[in-house]
Amino acid sequence: MAKKADEIINVLKAKGLRVTPQRYAVYANLLSRNDHPTAENILTDLNKDAPTLSQATIYLSLQTLRDVGLIREVLLQEGVCRYDANVSPHHHFRCNCCGKIEDIPWETFSNLSVDKLRSGLKVDHYEVIVQGECNSCCET
Ligand SMILES: [Zn+2]
Ligand SMILES: [Zn+2]
């Protein structure tokens, strides 16, 4: 998932976005991780060395990136919005103990089908959410 700086800039430009330091920082941060962070997680991470970005800026950048389809919101927990730079179809696993969310490749449930839905329902997108315990939680 790691992309070089000029690649990231090109992706933003290709979406017709002005490349601001904030957008760049937020998108680069999301691309560099796969833990589905919240806006607060990103804020903390980006302001680790010096507090340069405000919460409002982060939210605004996330919104913009989401609007053009570069990132998506992951809502697996009531009231908690997490973000994902992996916008290709995939499923999620959520650990009930530590709250960790990890990607499950789409092919994992290869025979999943929405054909049996009643007629009249138009499918936009769907994914499987598996809940349980991750291996680091099970061990202890
Ligand atoms: Zn866990
Ligand atoms: Zn994901």
At 135, which helix (H) or strand (E)? helix 135-139
pTM: 0.85
Ligand 1 center from residue 79 Cα (angstroms) = 20
Counting ligands in written order, which one lies closest to the CA of residue 35? 2
Counting ligands in written order, which one lies closest to the CA of residue 133? 1
The residue type of 9 is I
Residue 36 banded pLDDT, cuts 50, 70, 90: very high
Ligand 1 center from residue 83 Cα (angstroms) = 19
Ligand 2 center from residue 36 Cα (angstroms) = 6
Dump pLDDT digits (tens) for 44-81. 999 998 888 899 999 999 999 999 999 999 988 888 99
| Burial of residue 134, with CB atoms counted within 10 A of its CB: 0-12 exposed, 13-18 middle, 19 or more buried | middle
pLDDT recorded at residue 140: 61
Listed residue (46, 89, 42, 34) closest to 62, CA to CA? 42
pLDDT recorded at residue 2: 58
Range in 48-52, 57-61, 89-93, 94-98 with the lowest mean pLDDT: 48-52
